[in-house]
């Protein structure tokens, strides 16, 4: 695994952008210079994050999200595990 987080990552296991190894290592996100702890998905190249819109759920029981545009800076919180 590299020292840079993936370009796009989702915490939802149903998403094609879900990466369990990266999430296990711990990924933090700074959005427009502010630490965000409620990010459901992000994309660095397109410059957006998805965050939950309160406690509202859709029909499938997943939280409704809103997309916010800005500067996205993901980073790993923990060191890479030794092989």
- Tens digits of per-residue pLDDT, 18-76? 999 999 999 999 999 999 999 999 999 999 999 999 999 999 888 899 999 999 999 99
What is the C-alpha to C-alpha distance for residues 61 and 25, in angstroms, rounded to an integer? 27
pTM of the model: 0.86
Q: Where are the domains positioned within the chain?
A: 8-76
The gap from C-alpha 11 to its chain's centroid, in whole angstroms, comes to: 6
């Amino acid at each position: 695994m590299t020292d840079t987080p993936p370009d796009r990552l989702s915490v939802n296991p149903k998403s094609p952008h879900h990466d369990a190894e990266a999430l296990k290592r711990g990924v933090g996100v700074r959005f427009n210079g502010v630490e965000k702890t409620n990010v459901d998905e992000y994309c660095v190249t397109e410059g957006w994050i998805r965050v939950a819109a309160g406690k509202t759920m859709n029909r499938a029981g997943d939280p409704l999200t809103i997309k916010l545009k800005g500067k996205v800076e993901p980073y790993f919180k923990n060191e890479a595990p030794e092989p």
